[in-house]
A = this chain, B = another copy of it.
């Protein structure tokens, strides 16, 4: 297998960990595969200075400058709101394809459906991998995920970009360290880039979003050895832009347990600038929205304390634990053991669905 040598395209956004979350995710969980980051405004710096990730990885001004590191992949590491391709990026991506770099694209814009990109890929002998392109044969969700025997854990949140993917991955790695056979269901472009499989549910037709989540859980659960399935949540019930996606994930994956992810001290809900509701309201809404289908509790809170010093982080974790009456930690800073304990201890058995179950017709997603 050829070694992956990724250059992360983060033009104009590398200082912004929210817009650049795909890039940050790969820097955090697969830093050895990254050779450079492109952001002309930060060229000459070390990635670590900007992101606290990827020490020793240079930030360069453009792809021409990155070529000396012999990349074989360009990852589009920026996810603008709405997800469409900014036209100003087109030339750089065409250049990458013509130079033979595989392009990993997490945008809503499907590059492999654009004639100019397809021609450039043919010219360079390169592949286009559209991370958000959905399978052709998705179906609706019919509560089939309930048949999976493993403990299914969904990471939910108070907003976008509050650590849902990170928390699921940190819990996955901790579970594997403990010898618990576990799997991760990636539902967004960054998770798919890291895990190597998944479905980007926000690029699925709304009727099939829950079906996509169901299919991922069935696929992970098809391996009967797997005891724990961590499903990456997307959006949030209190984030009107993406609330429907979150509810679809909940009702498609049918979690046994949920972990609520939250950015410490966040005052406003992003994008709509509304006051952030208290944690108790989020927890209640998540549990009530599950209860009408099948019961599932929020077992712990994953708190994002990045940017705080350690004392401040410990203080806010303690305060949050008192406020919510639940275990709380920042899994990046202090490990995810507390979160894993909460889902393993509190829910030793699956709660059966009442009523007649739908027939299972399991096809592997890929």
A residues with CB within 8 A of B? 81-83, 108, 139-143, 201-207, 209-211, 237-238, 240-249, 251-252, 254, 268, 271-275, 277, 281-282, 284-285, 288-289, 292-293, 353-358
Contacts and interface: CB of A to CB of B under 8 A. Distances in A.
A243 B250 CA distance: 10
B245 A251 contact: no
A141 B176 CA distance: 39
Contacts of A240: 141-143, 210, 251-252, 254, 293
Nearest to A213: B244
A239 B350 CA distance: 21
Nearest to A249: B244
Give 4 nearest A-B pairs by CB, closest first: A244-B248, A240-B251, A244-B244, A274-B355
A140 B241 contact: yes
A207 B84 CA distance: 12
Nearest to A294: B274
Contacts of A81: 140
A83 B207 contact: yes
Contact of A358 (B254, B272, B277, B285): B272
A251 B353 CA distance: 28
A83 B271 CA distance: 33
A252, A273, A275 interface centre (most CB from chain B within 10 Å):
A273
B209 A244 contact: yes
